[in-house]
Amino acid sequence: MQQSIEAVNLTKKYGSFVALSGLNLKFEGAKCVGFLGPNGAGKTTTLKLFTDMIRPSAGHALINGIDVHENKRDALSSCTALIETPEIYPSLTPAEALSMIAEIRGVSSNERNIRIEESLNEVKMLEWKDKKVGKFSKGMKQRVNIASVLISDPSIIMLDEPTTGLDPRGMSEVREIVKSLKRKNRLIFMSSHLLNEVTDVCDEVAMIDHGKLLVYDSILNVIQKFSENGSNIIEVGFSRAIDENIMEKIGKLENVKATSKIDETNLRMEILGDIKVQEALFYELANMKIGVISFKPSSSALESTYLNMIKETL
Amino acid sequence: MPNRVPSSIRQAFTVTKFELLNYVRSRRFIIMLGIGIIVGALLTLLVGHYRPSGFLASSIDFYSSWWGISATYIVILSGIFFGGDAISGEFQNKTGYFIVGNPIRRSSIYAGKWLAAFVASFIVLIVFLGITVLNNFYYFGLNLPYQFLESFLFTLLYLISVLGLTFFFSSLFKSSSVAILTTVVLMLFAFSLIQELIDAFVHVEPWFLITYGAGIIGNILTVPYPSHILTTHFGHVVVTSYAVTVPEGIAILVAYFAVTVILGLVLFERKEFN
């Protein structure tokens, strides 16, 4: 059975304030779903409902088909979550804090130390494993928190703005960790404010505002469907400097509406068409042997789509 | 292969293990242990220097004056130090976010933390007990009256009740300082004051106060056991004092624990991390 996260009419009210309104969503299989929305949109509320940190006013939060509120132990047995920026008992070391989570999750004693070392190594905290957490910076604590999510080798991971508190290098490392998790057949549900992060890491995106789901689809489809003229923006990276000849050749390709240089080795392409068109274009570019090394939806395209959608709900 | 989540009881013991590790390395544990040692050292010096007859009349009088008075304060302070913010701190300091999102029942977390607070308090109490017994050995030789063993067991029961109460207040409030302050005011001042006033002037037995129930700790060390009701006339004014009986004291302490631990757990189960 594929791993799944499902919200069925999930609602959370605080008095008359509706934090989440009848959310219906289902993610299945190994992929990374970005969860976007402005502050107060209901992102963290949703993730807290999926970890039973808060109770739903109506509806159900299901993990692998099990209601989290009714059977938390089974529902969360193969799912880990990092919600906000947790604090760890200050007198514990990262190794001890992770050992506690590993024991609670039933990681066998002979595997525990290996997993702790692997997780800490992955977040570049291995050399700090025996130092007390109380003396750590916010960024270091967040790295240990991320390690705690990896410790039990879960099939589902929920991350609530995981790069919060990290410096640019830390943010980049976390993105790489998330990408590597994706390669290990996990379902990742990640909320973020950072659109370039979502574009870089996620396959699909769910946008939420005022507690309501606006859209859920692949990033490319969302950009295409909701961009002002139905076009997609793709950023193409080259291994060498782009000359006018290359620009002209690309500009003449079918479904390419416009091209512009971002810098010496990157260009932006405005294209018309769905994912099949993009696949064909990618194939053509590769066949042109002009040094294409990357081909991805532009984060600025997602940003303009996001802003358009949020504007509509104001 | 997926991990098999351990039983709730085993998870509670895991929480106890790491919570206790956090306690024994914390400043508060060192301070509380220090308080126990300082109180013991001061009593040792004062009794050794002044040789008060109330202390040194007999072994049982020694325990009555020393343990009967000090142990209840050690228990209350331990309850405040280790239980005051045990639950509220999980919300205020966000430590709860690290553990609650895992496949563990909140009751396991509550029980694990309660047990850790009990063990930490027990260590402090044992150190104070050691100082007490060593002093008694010095003055009276190897003499351990059975009443003292009873008093020690009642002290443990009082500790269980006090921790039940402090955990309840800790679950009631999200702010650690409010939870601690409420416990301090009630346990150190309000309960004693209410007990004195009701005892003396309303002439009603204060069976509903935990501090009244704790009276068995000192009373058992008084030979013969004090009268249940003592009425004294000062002219037209009648002052009544009550001495809690052993069954009554045990019932009060057990009831306090049972009620507060259930209410505290219900509150913790219902409280949201927002």
pLDDT tens digits, residue range A16-53?
A: 999 999 999 999 999 999 999 888 889 999 999 999 99
CA distance B38 to B221: 23
> Residue A263: which pLDDT band, with cuts at 50, 70 and 90?
confident
Under a CB-based contact definition with an 8 Å cutoff, are residues A240 and A288 in contact?
Answer: no
Q: Tens digit of pLDDT for each residue in B142-156?
A: 888 999 999 999 999
Q: Please indicate whether, in this complex, the C-beta atoms of A100 and B104 are within 8 angstroms of each other.
A: no
pLDDT tens digits for A183-241?
888 999 999 878 888 888 899 999 998 888 888 998 878 877 766 566 778 889 999 88
* Cα–Cα distance, A74 to A81 (Å, whole number): 14
Output the pLDDT for position A2: 86
User: Which residue does chain A place closest to B6, by CA atoms?
Assistant: A106
Q: Which pair of structure tokens corresponds to residue B187?
A: 């346990």
Segment A89-96 shows an average pLDDT of 95
Q: Are B40 and B126 in contact (CB under 8 A)?
A: no
Beta-carbon separation of A72 and B105 below 8 A: yes
| Partners of residue B103 in chain A, C-beta under 8 Å | 72-77, 104-105
Query: Does the distance separating the beta carbons of A105 and B3 come in below 8 Å?
Result: yes
Q: Cβ B95–A100 below 8 Å, yes or no?
A: no
Whole-number pLDDT of residue A262: 86
pLDDT top residue among A200 and B111: B111
Q: Is the pLDDT of residue B1 over 60?
A: no
Strands (E), chain B: 229-234, 237-242
Nearest-by-Cβ selection for B95 from A53, A83, A88 = A88
- Map out the domains of chain A with their CATH numbers: 4-218 (3.40.50.300), 227-313 (3.30.70.1560)
8 Å CB contact of B102 and A80: yes
Minimal Cα distance from A51: which residue of B?
A: B101
Query: What is the pLDDT, as a whole number, of residue A311?
Result: 67
Write down the ipTM of this complex. Answer: 0.89
Domain residue extents for chain B: 8-270
Q: Which residues 6+ apart lie within 8 Å of A46 measured at CB?
A: A7, A10, A20, A23, A35, A191, A208
Q: What is the largest CA-CA distance in chain B?
A: 83
What's the CA gap between A23 and A47, in Å, rounded?
12
What is the distance in angstroms between the Cα of A9 and the nearest Cα belonging to chain B?
20
Please report residues of A whose CB lies closer than 8 A to that of B270: 55
What pLDDT, on a 0 to 100 scale, did the predictor assign at position A133?
Answer: 94
- A33 - beta bridge partners? A189, A204
Compare all CA atoms of chain A with the CA of B22 and give the residue at the minimum distance: A91
- Judging contacts by C-beta atoms under 8 Å, the chain B residues touching residue A89 are 18-19, 22, 95
- The structure tokens listed for B112 are 């694990």
Q: How far apart, in whole angstroms, are the C-alpha atoms of residue B93 and residue B100?
A: 13
Strands, E, within A239-281: which ranges? 256-263, 266-272
Q: What three-state secondary structure class fits B255?
A: helix
Mean of all residue pLDDT scores within chain B: 93
Strand (E) or helix (H) holding B231: strand B229-234
Phi, psi of B92 (to 5 degrees): -65, -45
DSSP 8-state secondary structure symbol assigned to residue B189: I
